């Protein structure tokens, strides 16, 4: 998936497949899963299209654990490690 993220060919379906393969997703129902996939795909839109990120996703990208933890909604707080894994594996450290 990292290659698709970097070359700009990543789709929401790719993100969905990746999420369901992660153990953290086992605690999510279908609606929550869709929410998380949408949030993770937003990173791709931000990286390639300049889409705005809200406070939670901005904090994740900035590696600001305190703000990430306190701004996560009831769904995202369940899967914070999933966000860390996604950003670590897909967004280069020198993006800033």
77-86: pLDDT as tens digits: 999 999 999 9
Is residue 33 in some structural domain? yes
What pLDDT does residue 1 have?
85
Is residue 26 in some structural domain? yes
What pLDDT does residue 2 have?
85
Is residue 96 in some structural domain? no
Tell me the residue range of the domain where 10 lies: 2-90
CA torsion through residues 79, 85, 91, 92, sign: positive
Is residue 95 in some structural domain? no
Residue in the structure block whose two tokens are 């670590």:
88
Residue 96 has pLDDT above 70, yes or no: no
Q: What is the pTM of this model?
A: 0.92
User: Mind listing the pLDDT tens digit for each residue in 12-58?
Assistant: 999 999 999 999 999 999 999 999 999 999 999 999 999 999 999 99
Domain count within the chain: 1
User: Mind listing the pLDDT tens digit for each residue in 6-15?
Assistant: 899 999 999 9
């Amino acid at each position: 998936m990292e290659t698709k993220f970097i070359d700009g060919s990543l789709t929401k379906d790719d993100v969905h497949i990746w999420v369901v393969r992660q153990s953290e997703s086992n605690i999510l129902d279908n609606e929550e899963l869709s929410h998380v996939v949408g949030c993770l795909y937003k990173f791709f839109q931000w990286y390639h299209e300049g889409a705005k990120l809200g406070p939670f996703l901005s904090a994740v990208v900035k590696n600001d654990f305190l703000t990430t933890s306190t701004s996560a909604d009831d769904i995202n707080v369940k899967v914070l490690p999933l966000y860390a894994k996604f950003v670590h594996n897909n967004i280069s450290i020198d993006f800033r």
